[in-house]
Amino acid sequence: MPTELEFFVDPHRCIGCHACEHACAECETHKGHSMIHIEYVERSASVQTVPVVCMHCHSPTCADVCPADAIKRSADGRVMTARKPRCIGCSNCVLACPFGVPKMMTEFELMMKCDMCYDRTSTGRKPMCATVCPSGALFYGTRQEVEESRKRSRPVNEFHFGKQVITTKVNMMLPKERTAAHLDVTAALHDKPAGALISLNILTDTPVPVEDTA
């Protein structure tokens, strides 16, 4: 039996190039719109960015609150874009998603979101965003590949929002020194971007410490 391919998001590798957004818009089912977007962690203090993509929850809140039963979960765990014949444009899903992913596309009167490029991944190909990400912030492959190539990180798919616990099909890569088996999203909202010293050796032969306030 072939090893299952999984989707991994590594926010620490994101360089904010927006290549994923442009590639996503080219996916045949996205009607020219990107279903992934880049957010700044704290724009006033840092240039650090993070890709925001549907996490494909095992028990999707967006589907639970849909009064028209327009949002379905595929047999392999992907949460699909709302079905046009049933979507009534109420935006319940937009308000309910803890990750802030679904978008109401008013020009189509339809909720649209990442479906992990179902037209591609269902035939063994990678999602568009993962094919163009130059830094590996978005990776589609086996868990073994990730564990072998990223020794300092580990995948997590359990997220806590206060007392609410959500597990997902998509994995988030966290530093290995974080021993918790989950990510406490509520607590992480108060984290500040860490400063660091970067040694530059551009004009002289001696590295010059430069303070990074990001």
Q: Quickly name the fold that domain 6-53+114-188 has.
A: Alpha-Beta Plaits (3.30.70)
Q: What is the pLDDT of residues 58-108, one digit of tens each?
A: 999 999 999 999 999 998 899 999 999 999 999 999 999 999 999 999 888
Residues 6+ apart with CB under 8 A from 52: 36, 37, 38, 39, 99, 100, 101
pLDDT at 210 over 60: no
Longest CA pairwise span in the chain (Å): 66
Rounded CA separation 65/152 (Å): 38
Please classify residue 150 by burial: count the beta carbons closer than 10 Å to its beta carbon, then call 0-12 exposed, 13-18 middle and 19+ buried: middle
Would you state the structure tokens that stand for residue 191, as one six-digit string?
């984290």
Q: What is the pLDDT of residues 25-61, one digit of tens each?
A: 988 778 788 999 999 988 888 888 999 999 999 999 9
Rounded CA separation 121/153 (Å): 25
Q: What is the pTM of this model?
A: 0.82
Q: Which of 85, 88, 62 is nearest to 73 (CA)?
A: 62
Q: CA-CA distances (angstroms) from residue 111 to 42, 62, 146, 188?
A: 27, 10, 32, 28
Rounded CA separation 214/211 (Å): 9
Domain boundaries defined on the chain: 6-53+114-188
